[in-house]
A and B are shown apart, each in its own frame.
Chain A
Amino acid sequence: MIHYIIRRFLYAIPLLMGVNILTFVLFFIVNSPDDMARMQLGQKYVTGQAISNWKHQHGYDLPLLWNDTEKGEKKITRTIFYQKSAGLFMFRFGVSDSGRNIGADIQERMWPSLAIALPTLCVGLMVDISFALLMALFRGSYLERAGIVLCVILMSISSLFYIIGGQFFIAKLLRLVPISGYDDDMAAIKFLILPVLIGVISGVGSGVRWYRTLFLEEVEKDYVRTARAKGLSETQTLFRHVLRNALIPVLTGVVVILPLLFMGSLIMESFFSIPGLGSYTIDAINSQDFAIVRAMVFLGSVLYVLGLLLTDISYTLVDPRVRLS
């Protein structure tokens, strides 16, 4: 087990390198350091001197990938790529192009992101599973068919409509919650109700359908028939056996996305002006702040790899037949 985990971590290194090189190349095809300087320096009275000063201060006055003027290993280390990448692997994200420390910002913005993502996930899971169970319970009846149709309908609506509609009806017309914003601690709850609600509803269509297939697959298995033959009631089999067994794929499915919850939701956060990592990323894209974009991409990849690892581990934990090697 330990060996496996160590190996997976080692495997992650070339992966992260690849990600890093890819983002670096993509970004610098688009932007030269001069562009970045100009972007940050504003509009009026920008001179060449000011630009080269900026580049020097932010370390963008080196060659991109290969430094011919230096000797030995410095040919590689004295480049923008090396200087900006080395820190990432130690989770030192450095300073953004607009002058703020990225690590500190990420730490601060992580919590609001979690504050929407986690409740959305939990409530969503509960709602999805209970509806899916209901549908499994009524399988074959008109209720199930109506449920499926409803799910497909819900799935076919763009998430933008849920957000726009929710804000319009609940916050603007009915004045039940603040339309947007965020606050610290418990005061955040009133701001979170609407985004969480919308998050849950927009996911309910596909969620219920997915869990329903899981449950139905389980229901068709032999042991269920045996249990029913033994005299257990429909509900008893459903809750005692089907639910328990179906929970394995449910849980492992959740584990994959757990780490990624930190990344936040891009659109939800900017619509509700929640100061999380999602809106941080969007702002960075819009202001072409390369340092932040790279830090976020790196973080995203790390969390993705972590998610894969956690999934594997959780498989062994819930299902003793699976062995990691």
Chain B
Amino acid sequence: MSSFLSMKIQTYEVLLFLAVFLTACDVSPLNDPYPENESKLSILYQSFSERPKHLDPAVAYSENEYAFIAQIYEPPFQYHYLKRPYQLTPLTASKMPEINYLNKQGEKLGEDAKESDIAYTDYVIDIQPNIQYQPHPALAKNERGDYIYHHLTEAQIQSLNTLNDFKETGSRELTAEDYVYQIKRLANPKIQSPIAEIMKNYIVGFDDFSKQASDKQKTDIKNMPMSGVEAINRYRYSVRIKGKYPQFRFWLAMPFFSAMPWEADVFYDQSGLSDKNITLDWFPLGTGPYLLAENNPNRRMILLKNPLFHLEKYPSEGEPEDKQNGLLIDAGKRLPFIDKVEFMLEKETIPYWTKFLQGYYDASGISSDSFDQAVQFTGSGGVALTSSMKKKGVRMQTLVETSIFYMGFNMLDTTVGGDSERARKLRQAIAIAVDYEEYISIFRNGRGVVAQGVIPPGIFGYVEGKDGINSYSYDWVDGKPQRKKIDVARKLVAEAGYPDGIDPKTGEALILYFDTTSVSIDDRPTMNWYRKQFEKLGITLVIRATDYNRFQEKMRAGNEQIFVWGWNADYPDPENLFFLLYGANSKVKHGGENAVNYQNPEFDRLFELMRNMDNSEQRYRIIQKLQEIVRRDAPWVFGFYPKNFSLYHSWYSNLKPNSMANNRLKYTRIDPDARAEKRQAWNKPIFWPLALGGLLFVLMLLPAFNAYRRRARETLQ
């Protein structure tokens, strides 16, 4: 009995505690995932779903890695934040690069030199003086001017856990030599830069340098010369390119070509540090507006404002409507505005979306499942936020990305591939039958634009309207493109030798194979949908789902038949898309990016012509010819250009979508007070069901207690 009583007392204590706890909750919402004292600070909360693999700018090459390093490292150039079409502006450089054409003998040519005469191009880049690196132990020096941490003892390393355990930090000025050093790093085979194989075709001396560096220590490359790249003086360096490659200027705006102090490699290369996960891949060292203060990829990554960031101002010009949209309010103010950015690991979509609605994330993309909740289509076919979103003050931005998703036919395949009329008709028929309008509406909720050709909007050569449609699968009806009727496709299939989709060889439906990496349950509807599209033609589509590696292997060996793939343009130039169909880039023969192994001499000739041209009327015409060839041959079913919808809360401002610039964080601004207020209002906890549940439980126990009492009495008798 006594124990029973004490249990009861405990219950009271718990209730009392709960009551106190509840009254205390008026201060901060119960479900706030962040520490209470943070709510009034200028902190931006973002999420990441997968930890970035590399933060070394020579290696990193994916969106989720750029989210971090583009804020930390600075290449000489960047894309203008507001202006469209995309335009390069200097970042650490003081002006746009000086471009000199040279002939074979190394003599300088005039600006209007013929392409055939140009053997080399020199890019001469001037950088601004007085740019400082972020404070970092690798740059820390003592009074005598020696680096403190470049010769760590074993005992010192043993006592370390993170980079923050180094007491001293230092900084130094950015020099042209640092940019040269980074290009050497790209060439170093030990660093395994993903663009090394491309760059060796362009940068003079790159390949030789790679070979020489292969048996050298990582830190030795500093003093080895690369013939095409040199620092002319402290603030000026030049890069020599083979031939004329105007797209190189875009590469100079990618993190690959940012500055890297040699001290970083010397510091991180000390043995023992990598066992503590202290490597350049995890703790970057740059000149950018932010520095990585905490790197715990298991939970969160924190960017802090770089105290030594050089003077950079918010742009004061943009597109005409930018002023109305309030994007120029901060014009001329010093960047960056936000003090701290917290990236939280968030794997599941439900918690992510819920937290956004509760105000704990400042911006969010829209997944297909939360779409109806956030967005509705207006009568004119446009999109608008739903009223519940508007009430919250959420705003939306849309952007057609410079990417394309396409369905590819393996041109080496005997059924769907090859240059024969029969196969071409089959491909054209499939291009009509696979109704990507429906795909976009079902699986992407309208977040995409059906592709009519290789080039996405925003890139030179894209044509809108009647002239831009794919006349092999579309008709221009009532001022808009309309997919051809399925009968047209059926006729094509019959002409291809499969009447009603029946394969004369077997007498049964023609079987085609769809190779995919989609093995998860979430992809089942998509696969079913593809099957239905082919059924329209009487063709049976067999899905061959394998894991990513197996898929890649099939692609390399040319064993696939039909697949879906995407390409995200590296820079806003049509060359970066058409090269996916260039014969010399064939995947099976040359290991290149031409995954469909398409080869058409006329296409290749025109492509070579177009490749190095500056944007001009002539280039535009060639591009249209290229488009026409691809549409006719149909090695791709042009799928769609994805459209990105992003939502952000009212307190988050200065946002303009930009699919090229990665370093957008420094322009944005947060109003923490407005945020704290909204969060408070949106997150009032509801307690009555809890109380009700407790009451029910007690009621349930009551008969038990009675029964017990009766029983105790019985035993006494």
Contacts and interface: CB of A to CB of B under 8 A. Distances in A.
Whether A and B touch (Cβ < 8 Å) is answered with yes
A95 interface: yes
A115 B690 CA distance: 25
B348 A100 contact: no
Interface of B: 1, 3-4, 29-33, 35, 53-54, 61-62, 189-190, 192, 194-198, 274-277, 279, 281-282, 296, 298-299, 344-348, 350-351, 354-355, 358, 360, 547-549, 552-553, 591, 593, 683-687, 689-690, 703-704, 707-708, 711-712, 715-716
23 contacts: A35-B552, A39-B549, A41-B192, A45-B593, A49-B189, A49-B197, A53-B192, A54-B192, A57-B190, A99-B281, A101-B274, A101-B277, A109-B298, A172-B354, A175-B29, A180-B346, A180-B355, A187-B35, A190-B30, A190-B31, A272-B351, A275-B299, A288-B547
A134 interface: yes
Given A175-B686, A179-B355, 10 more contacts: A40-B53, A45-B194, A50-B197, A104-B276, A134-B704, A174-B686, A181-B351, A235-B4, A272-B351, A279-B347
B281 A38 contact: no
A272 B703 CA distance: 38
Given A41-B192, A275-B298, A175 B31 contact: yes
A156 interface: no
Interface stretch (A4-12, A136-144, A306-314): A136-144
A45 B354 CA distance: 38
A123 to B, nearest CB: 13
Contacts of A109: 298
Interface of A: 31, 35, 38-50, 53-54, 57, 95, 98-101, 103-105, 108-109, 134, 137-138, 141, 143, 167, 169, 171-183, 187, 190-191, 228, 233-235, 239, 270-273, 275, 279-280, 288
- Chain B interface main SS type: loop
Contacts of A141: 707
A234 B549 contact: no
A191 to B, nearest CB: 7
B690 A176 contact: yes
B298 A180 contact: no
A105 to B, nearest CB: 7
B3 A239 contact: yes
Contact of A273 (B189, B296, B351, B549): B351
A50 B188 CA distance: 11
B192 A179 contact: no
B198 A171 contact: no
A105 B296 CA distance: 10
B351 A180 contact: yes
A233 B715 contact: yes
A274 B277 CA distance: 21
Nearest to A180: B351
Nearest to B53: A98
A65 B611 CA distance: 49
- Chain A interface main SS type: helix
Contact of A47 (B3, B274, B591): B591
A101 B274 CA distance: 7
Nearest 6 pairs between A and B by C-beta? A275-B298, A35-B549, A180-B351, A178-B33, A181-B33, A179-B351
Given A137-B708, A273-B345, A108 B298 contact: yes
A187 B36 CA distance: 10
Contacts of B348: 180, 270-271, 273
Contacts of B279: 99
A98 B31 CA distance: 34
Nearest to B553: A35
Contacts of A272: 351
B270 to A, nearest CB: 15
B549 A31 contact: yes
Contacts of B3: 235, 239
A125 to B, nearest CB: 16
B346 A273 contact: yes
A172 B33 CA distance: 13
A280 B344 CA distance: 16
A50 B703 contact: no
B194 A41 contact: yes
Contacts of B716: 233
Given A176-B31, A273-B346, A44 B552 contact: no
A173 B712 CA distance: 43
